[in-house]
Chains A and B, each alone.
Chain A
Amino acid sequence: MKVTIRRNEAYIETLVEICCTEDPDTETKELLNKIQSIEARLTVTKEGHLYKLTADDIFYIECVDDRTFVYTADDTYKSALKLYQVEEQLQNTDFIRISKSVLLNVTKLDSVRSLLNAKIEVHMLNGERLLVNRHYVTAFKKKFGV
């Protein structure tokens, strides 16, 4: 991949232009996902205040009793959207469904561990642990090209 960065004080706004094939290589795909993660924003609330989080801020999103919670490194927010709506909004980013109720940001993973029941346990960068359910294991592996 060729990267050209032009710095000039005359530029008012940063412009990112990517020229690639219809089916780009893994590195380019990762770059595209990263850019889409920066672009994608989710409106959430906490104690009556409204916040806009970028996908890159979010570690994972969980649906509990029909309510959607958004977890960052050390905070929890609420979203008015249903999990499937959030999933649609975060399409083509680094988020992946790991169970019926959890969407995970794979860029916030520290390590993974296989369990005897064919599930995978993921260790997040903030120390939390989540489970990838069996039905989602194949998709999870695929996300890493495995």
Chain B
Amino acid sequence: MKRKIYYKIIDFCILNCLSYTVASLMLSILSSFGVVQNMDYRILLQLFFCMTVFSLLATFINGFLVESRWTRFLTGLVNGTVIVLAIGGGVFHWFPWKTHYVVLVLLTFLLSYVIVYGFQLLENKKAVDQINQILMERKNNGRSC
């Protein structure tokens, strides 16, 4: 049980760091093109708060989900959209409630989400390659695996 919680915390930390990095990168790019203005430390702290809530919810919800790729992907997407709109728009007032701003924010979030999801898949692929390497080395050393 303790080990399960430990692994959940690791998953949460990785997701939190990854999503915050990607989201702040996206914001920086938009800011450099003048789409986002007044970007300062407060926005970055608020963004960190949003990504932490998102990661916490994602980790918590994933524990109850069926083992389906699409359910997981869509739930994460809905979870993130709600947080960006409710906390980002509602609490922190990142953007005015006009259609084109909301669409722009949602598109930015969607792109960030796809990048984070892709990174997670790549991370899994890298780990699997390392495990295969270990298995191969053990085989070559004459062990049973």
Q: Is the CB of B145 within 8 A of A106?
A: yes
Contacts of A102 in B (CB 8 A): none
Does B37 lie at the interface of the complex (its beta carbon under 8 Å from any beta carbon of A)?
no
Contacts of B143 in A (CB 8 A): 107
Contacts of A111 in B (CB 8 A): 132, 135
Q: Is the CB of A114 within 8 A of B124?
A: yes
* A141 → chain B closest CB, angstroms: 5
Does A42 lie at the interface of the complex (its beta carbon under 8 Å from any beta carbon of B)?
no
Please classify the interface of chain B as helix (H, G, I), strand (E, B), loop, or mixed, using the class held by over half of its residues.
helix
Q: Is the CB of A113 within 8 A of B11?
A: no
Does A12 lie at the interface of the complex (its beta carbon under 8 Å from any beta carbon of B)?
no
Total contacting residues, chain A, CB less than 8 A = 27
Q: Which of B23-31, B50-58, B66-74, B82-90 is near enough to bind chain A? A: B66-74
Q: Is the CB of A120 within 8 A of B124?
A: yes
**For residues 86 through 106 of chain A, which have their beta carbon under 8 Å from a beta carbon of chain B?**
106
Please classify the interface of chain A as helix (H, G, I), strand (E, B), loop, or mixed, using the class held by over half of its residues.
mixed
Q: Is the CB of A114 within 8 A of B128?
A: yes
Does A116 lie at the interface of the complex (its beta carbon under 8 Å from any beta carbon of B)?
yes
Q: Is the CB of A107 within 8 A of B7?
A: no
Instruction: Write the chain B residue with the least CB distance to A141.
Output: B127
Q: Say yes or no: A138-B72 contact (C-beta < 8 A), given A107-B144, A112-B132.
A: no
* B94 → chain A closest CB, angstroms: 30
Total contacting residues, chain B, CB less than 8 A = 25
Q: Which of B3, B120, B144 contacts A118 (CB 8 A)?
A: B120
> In this complex, which of A109, A116, A125, A133 has the most chain B Cβ atoms within 10 angstroms of its Cβ?
A109
**For residues 115 through 130 of chain A, which have their beta carbon under 8 Å from a beta carbon of chain B?**
116-120, 125
Contacts of B75 in A (CB 8 A): none
Contacts of A120 in B (CB 8 A): 124, 128
Q: Is the CB of A117 within 8 A of B7?
A: no
Q: Is the CB of B144 within 8 A of A117?
A: no
Q: Is the CB of B62 within 8 A of A134?
A: yes
Instruction: Write the chain A residue with the least CB distance to B145.
Output: A107
Q: Is the CB of A141 within 8 A of B10?
A: no
Contacts of B7 in A (CB 8 A): 138-139, 142
* B99 → chain A closest CB, angstroms: 34
Instruction: Write the chain B residue with the least CB distance to A143.
Output: B131
Contacts of B127 in A (CB 8 A): 114, 141, 146
* A88 → chain B closest CB, angstroms: 13
Q: Is the CB of B72 within 8 A of A118?
A: yes
A113 to B121, CA, bound (A): 12
Interface residues of B (CB under 8 A from A): 3-4, 7, 10-11, 62-63, 67-69, 72, 120-121, 124-125, 127-128, 130-132, 134-135, 143-145
Provide 6 A-B residue pairs closer than 8 Å at the C-beta atoms, listed in order of the A residue: A110-B145, A117-B72, A120-B124, A134-B72, A135-B62, A139-B3
